[in-house]
Amino acid sequence: MNVQDISSNFSFDRDYFSISGLNVKPIIEKLGTPLFIYDAETIKERYEYLRANLPLEVDIFYAMKANPSLAVIKQLVNLGAGVEVASEGELYACKKVGVNPKDIVFAGPSKTFEDITMAVEMGIYALNAESVGEIKRIDEIAASHDTVMDIELRINPEFEVAGAAVNMGGGSKKFGIDSEVLSAAIEQVSSLNNVRLQGIHIFAGTGIQNSEGFLSNLENCFTLAEEMNRKHFKVLSIDFGGGIGIPYSDEDSGLSIGGISDKISDMIKKYPFIRENGTRLIAEPGRYLVGQSGIYITKVIDKKHSRGKEYLLVDGGAQHLLRPALIGQSQPTFNLSREQGNLQPFDVGGSLCTSIDFLGKDLNLSEDSAVGDFIGVFCSGAYGYTESMPLFLSHDIAPEVLVHNGKYDVIRPRMDIRKIVDEMVIPGELS
């Protein structure tokens, strides 16, 4: 894979790497490493391509857990996206960005009193309820606010998604209500006055790599929704999840979205209740919209050889970018300081005292790679900053930078660990 396969805005010109013509070297030198850089243009292109390849009936809600930077959310909202959130903190971020509450859904197990209260007070489009107990809690909170809260029932379906990297549905899961007990569950909440069952939510898998898997998941969702509509309540929304995969290596195809629109339109026609009810269709992708926009950049601190292997040891690592270790899959990685030239395999590891702390193993990098070089781990725009363990070993937390319109801005400053240390307390008797 070369950088142009990741984004057409990325290029190498001899010994420097640029994003939409902007040389990143001065940015790195000014801000220091490690850092994340995101390209606004890549996000825009991803969004617009997806928008062009989904029928207009489908609304795109950005799953902000993939990258919760306010600037990233704002850009996607400006382009027309709604937002899928999973916590009170994410709702707060939406408020700051100015997202229309009617374009927010909130999914996620173990929602707290505070989570639900904020959603009710903001009047978001729907809370995606994960259990009967949760529906009862939502009802109580909505009653105390003298309002009725709209709910999408999150269903744990019997089906799994073909070609998904991780299945979130099927089998025994902490997410949603098992499909076979749905009727009983609906019966249990039918007398509640402060909730309205208005839709269903199924998020069955992430990292889906083939359009057949995506489409058959969609068809399964529509079939279940049709059954709900026939037997239980007027289905006004179907939230069919995110999960669109991107390629992380030459072996991954990524989900080809081109040409999928007609197939989805044909499918919608097979389910007349969608048109009759004016059912809102919601896709909630995260990774697809932002994954390829981001690069995690770290500096080589040491280079060594151990029993037949070459190592580059860097100033970043799993504290900022856990995904390669968590999933066991390397991401496209390049030495940004060298002409690509002859390559040789390196394991790239960080300073954490755990053997999982690798940004990648057997990565083909310039054979001249040396101390002081900058290494870029690509496809780090989704589940990078947020899915990691930033406090392990008390390093600073990396800043985030957005390249846009030929310039750049720091969109989240480096977090100085000393500020966090300074807030800790030693009880008086220990002093």
Q: Does 58 engage in binding with ligand PLP (CB under 6 A)?
A: no
Residue with tokens 């007990």: 181
Q: Does 134 engage in binding with ligand PLP (CB under 6 A)?
A: no
Give the C-alpha separation, 300 to 316, whole Å: 9
Q: Does 72 engage in binding with ligand PLP (CB under 6 A)?
A: no
Q: Does 10 engage in binding with ligand PLP (CB under 6 A)?
A: no
Give the C-alpha separation, 164 to 161, whole Å: 6
Give the C-alpha separation, 221 to 202, whole Å: 7
Q: Does 241 engage in binding with ligand PLP (CB under 6 A)?
A: yes
Residue type, 235: V
Give the C-alpha separation, 398 to 390, whole Å: 9
Interaction mask 163-202, ligand PLP, x per CB under 6 A? ----------------------------------------
Q: Does 116 engage in binding with ligand PLP (CB under 6 A)?
A: no
CB 247 within 8 A of CB 253: yes
Give the C-alpha separation, 296 to 321, whole Å: 8
Give the C-alpha separation, 93 to 307, whole Å: 48
Q: How far is the CB of 367 from ligand PLP (least distance, A)?
A: 35
Q: Can you tell me which of 35, 37, 63, 192 binds ligand PLP, judged by CB under 6 A?
A: 63
* β-pair partners for 54: none
Q: What is the helix (H) or strand (E) element at residue 9, kind and residue range?
A: none
Binding segment toward ligand PLP, per CB under 6 A, in 21-29, 236-244, 308-316, 363-371? 236-244
**For strand 104-106 and strand 126-129, is the pairing parallel, antiparallel, or unpaired?**
parallel
Nearest 5°: phi and psi at 414? -60, 135
Q: How far is the CB of 243 from ligand PLP (least distance, A)?
A: 4
Q: Does 84 engage in binding with ligand PLP (CB under 6 A)?
A: yes
Q: Can you tell me which of 17, 203, 214, 248 binds ligand PLP, judged by CB under 6 A?
A: 203
Shorter beta-carbon distance to ligand PLP: residue 284 or 357: 284
Q: Can you tell me which of 242, 317, 332, 390 binds ligand PLP, judged by CB under 6 A?
A: 242
Binding segment toward ligand PLP, per CB under 6 A, in 252-260, 282-290, 296-304, 307-315? 282-290
Residues 285-304 that bind ligand PLP (CB under 6 A): 285-288
Shorter beta-carbon distance to ligand PLP: residue 243 or 317: 243
Q: What is the helix (H) or strand (E) element at residue 93, kind and residue range?
A: helix 88-97
Helices of type H across 190-290? 211-231, 260-269, 272-277, 287-290
Q: Does 206 engage in binding with ligand PLP (CB under 6 A)?
A: yes
Q: How far is the CB of 12 from ligand PLP (least distance, A)?
A: 28
From first CA to last CA, the distance across the chain in angstroms is 56
Q: Can you tell me which of 50, 225, 244, 348 binds ligand PLP, judged by CB under 6 A?
A: 244
Site residues (CB under 6 A) for ligand PLP? 63, 65-66, 84, 107, 203, 206, 241-244, 284-288, 382
